[in-house]
Chain A
Amino acid sequence: MSGSLVIRGGRVVDPTQALDGPADVLIENGTVTACGPGLARPENVPELDAAGLVVAPGLIDMHVHLREPGQEYKETIETGTRAAAAGGFTAVACMPNTDPVNDDPSLTEFMLKQADRAGWARVYPIAAVSRGLEGRELTEFGAQRRAGAVAVSDDGRPVWSAALMRQALRYARHFDLPVIQHAEELALSGDGVMHEGRFATRLGVEGIPAAADDVMVSRDLLLVADTGGRYHLAHMSTERSLDLIRAARADGHRVTCEVSAHHLLLTDEDVFDSGLDPNFKMHPPLRSAADRDALVEGLADGSIDAIASDHAPHHPDEKELDFVGSPNGIVGLETTLSLCLDRLVRKSVIDLARLVDLLSTAPARILRVAGGSLAPGSPGDVTLIDLEREVEVDPATFRSRSRNTPFAGWKLRGAPAGTVVGGRSIELP
Chain B
Amino acid sequence: MSEPVWQRGDLLGVAELSETEILHVLDTAESFVEVAARPIKKVPTLRGKTVINLFFEPSTRTSSSFEIAEKRLSADNINFSTSSSSLSKGETLLDTARNLEAMAPDLVVIRHAHPRVPHALAERLASGVINAGDGAHEHPTQALLDAFTIRRRKSRVEGLKIAIVGDVAHSRVVRSNVLCLTKLGAEVTVAGPRTMMPEEPEALGARVVYSLEEAIEGADVVMMLRVQLERQARAAFPSEREYFEFFGLTAERLRHAQEDAIIMHPGPINRGIEIASEVADGPWSVILEQVANGVAVRMAVLYLLAGAKSGEDGTP
Interface residues in chain A, defined as those with a beta carbon under 8 Å from any beta carbon in chain B: 190, 196-205, 207, 209, 275-276, 317-318, 320-327
Q: Is A321 a contact partner of B198 (Cβ separation < 8 A)?
A: no
Q: How many A-B residue contacts, CB cutoff 8 Å?
A: 83
7 tightest A-B contacts by CB? A204-B136, A198-B203, A324-B114, A204-B137, A201-B198, A198-B200, A321-B120
Closest CB-CB distance, A133 to chain B, in whole Å?
A: 21
Q: Is A322 a contact partner of B93 (Cβ separation < 8 A)?
A: yes
B114 (CB) vs chain A CBs: closest residue: A324
Q: Which residues of A contact B92 (CB under 8 A)?
A: 317, 320-321
Contact of B116 among A196, A200, A276 (CB under 8 A): A276
Can you list 15 contacts pairing A with B, beta carbon distance less than 8 Å? Answer: A198-B199, A198-B203, A201-B198, A204-B137, A275-B119, A320-B94, A321-B92, A322-B87, A322-B114, A322-B120, A323-B114, A325-B86, A325-B87, A325-B93, A326-B87
Q: Is B204 a contact partner of A202 (Cβ separation < 8 A)?
A: yes
How far does the alpha carbon of A209 sit from the alpha carbon of B199 in the complex, in Å?
A: 9
Q: Is B94 a contact partner of A324 (Cβ separation < 8 A)?
A: no
Q: Which residues of B contact A205 (CB under 8 A)?
A: 115, 135-137
Contact of A201 among B94, B119, B138, B203 (CB under 8 A): B203
Q: Which residues of A contact B170 (CB under 8 A)?
A: 204
Q: Is A321 a contact partner of B175 (Cβ separation < 8 A)?
A: no
Q: Is A322 a contact partner of B203 (Cβ separation < 8 A)?
A: no
Closest CB-CB distance, B172 to chain A, in whole Å?
A: 6
Closest CB-CB distance, B234 to chain A, in whole Å?
A: 8
Closest CB-CB distance, B69 to chain A, in whole Å?
A: 25
The winner among B115, B121, B136, B234 for most chain A CB atoms within 10 A is B115
Is B85 interfacial (CB-CB < 8 Å)? yes
How far does the alpha carbon of A201 sit from the alpha carbon of B136 in the complex, in Å?
A: 9
B116 (CB) vs chain A CBs: closest residue: A276
Q: Which residues of A contact B115 (CB under 8 A)?
A: 203-205, 276, 323-324
Is B35 interfacial (CB-CB < 8 Å)? no
Q: Is A325 a contact partner of B200 (Cβ separation < 8 A)?
A: no
Q: Which residues of B contact A326 (CB under 8 A)?
A: 87
0/1 per residue, B99-134, Cβ < 8 Å to A? 000000000000011111101110010000000001
Q: Is B199 a contact partner of A196 (Cβ separation < 8 A)?
A: yes
The winner among B85, B121, B135 for most chain A CB atoms within 10 A is B135
Closest CB-CB distance, B99 to chain A, in whole Å?
A: 14
Q: Which residues of A contact B87 (CB under 8 A)?
A: 317-318, 322, 325-327
How far does the alpha carbon of A276 sit from the alpha carbon of B119 in the complex, in Å?
A: 10
Contact of B117 among A200, A321, A327 (CB under 8 A): A321
Question: Apart from A204-B171, A320-B93, what are 4 other A-B pairs with CB-CB below 8 Å?
Answer: A205-B137, A207-B198, A322-B117, A326-B87
Q: Which residues of A contact B136 (CB under 8 A)?
A: 204-205
Q: Which residues of B contact A202 (CB under 8 A)?
A: 175, 203-204
How far does the alpha carbon of A402 sit from the alpha carbon of B256 in the complex, in Å?
A: 59
Given A320-B94, A321-B93, A325-B87, decide whether A197 and B116 contact each other with a Cβ distance below 8 A: no
The winner among B137, B138, B171 for most chain A CB atoms within 10 A is B137
0/1 per residue, B20-31, Cβ < 8 Å to A? 000000000000
Interface residues in chain B, defined as those with a beta carbon under 8 Å from any beta carbon in chain A: 85-87, 92-94, 112-117, 119-121, 124, 134-138, 170-172, 175, 198-204, 234
Q: Is A325 a contact partner of B85 (Cβ separation < 8 A)?
A: yes
Q: Is B198 a contact partner of A323 (Cβ separation < 8 A)?
A: no
How far does the alpha carbon of A322 sit from the alpha carbon of B115 in the complex, in Å?
A: 8
Q: Which residues of B contact A317 (CB under 8 A)?
A: 87, 92
Q: Which residues of B contact A318 (CB under 8 A)?
A: 87
How far does the alpha carbon of A204 sit from the alpha carbon of B92 in the complex, in Å?
A: 23
How far does the alpha carbon of A285 sit from the alpha carbon of B194 in the complex, in Å?
A: 24
Closest CB-CB distance, B236 to chain A, in whole Å?
A: 12
Given A204-B135, A204-B172, A207-B198, decide whether A325 and B203 contact each other with a Cβ distance below 8 A: no
Closest CB-CB distance, A403 to chain B, in whole Å?
A: 16
Q: Is B94 a contact partner of A321 (Cβ separation < 8 A)?
A: yes
Q: Is B199 a contact partner of A201 (Cβ separation < 8 A)?
A: yes
How far does the alpha carbon of A196 sit from the alpha carbon of B200 in the complex, in Å?
A: 9
Q: Which residues of A contact B198 (CB under 8 A)?
A: 200-201, 207
Closest CB-CB distance, A127 to chain B, in whole Å?
A: 29
How far does the alpha carbon of A322 sit from the alpha carbon of B114 in the complex, in Å?
A: 7
Contact of A207 among B93, B172, B199 (CB under 8 A): B199
Q: Which residues of B contact A198 (CB under 8 A)?
A: 199-200, 202-203
Q: Which residues of A contact B201 (CB under 8 A)?
A: 201
Closest CB-CB distance, A192 to chain B, in whole Å?
A: 11
Closest CB-CB distance, A205 to chain B, in whole Å?
A: 5
B113 (CB) vs chain A CBs: closest residue: A324
Contact of B175 among A197, A204, A324, A327 (CB under 8 A): A204
Closest CB-CB distance, B113 to chain A, in whole Å?
A: 8
Closest CB-CB distance, A282 to chain B, in whole Å?
A: 16
B86 (CB) vs chain A CBs: closest residue: A325
How far does the alpha carbon of A145 sit from the alpha carbon of B114 in the complex, in Å?
A: 44
Q: Which residues of B contact A324 (CB under 8 A)?
A: 113-115, 135
Q: Which residues of B contact A275 (CB under 8 A)?
A: 116, 119-120
Closest CB-CB distance, A323 to chain B, in whole Å?
A: 7
Q: Which residues of A contact B175 (CB under 8 A)?
A: 202, 204
Q: Which residues of A contact B199 (CB under 8 A)?
A: 196-198, 200-201, 207, 209
A205 (CB) vs chain B CBs: closest residue: B115
Q: Which residues of A contact B138 (CB under 8 A)?
A: 204
How far does the alpha carbon of A201 sit from the alpha carbon of B87 in the complex, in Å?
A: 24
Q: Which residues of A contact B114 (CB under 8 A)?
A: 322-325
Closest CB-CB distance, A151 to chain B, in whole Å?
A: 31
A204 (CB) vs chain B CBs: closest residue: B136
Closest CB-CB distance, A277 to chain B, in whole Å?
A: 9
Q: Which residues of A contact B234 (CB under 8 A)?
A: 190
How far does the alpha carbon of A62 sit from the alpha carbon of B92 in the complex, in Å?
A: 33
Contact of A197 among B171, B200, B204 (CB under 8 A): B200
Q: Which residues of B contact A322 (CB under 8 A)?
A: 85-87, 93, 112, 114, 117, 120
B139 (CB) vs chain A CBs: closest residue: A204
How far does the alpha carbon of A198 sit from the alpha carbon of B204 in the complex, in Å?
A: 8
B91 (CB) vs chain A CBs: closest residue: A317
How far does the alpha carbon of A197 sit from the alpha carbon of B85 in the complex, in Å?
A: 25
How far does the alpha carbon of A199 sit from the alpha carbon of B92 in the complex, in Å?
A: 27
How far does the alpha carbon of A202 sit from the alpha carbon of B169 in the complex, in Å?
A: 10
A202 (CB) vs chain B CBs: closest residue: B203
Q: Which residues of B contact A320 (CB under 8 A)?
A: 92-94, 120
Closest CB-CB distance, B257 to chain A, in whole Å?
A: 26
Closest CB-CB distance, A320 to chain B, in whole Å?
A: 6
Closest CB-CB distance, A167 to chain B, in whole Å?
A: 31
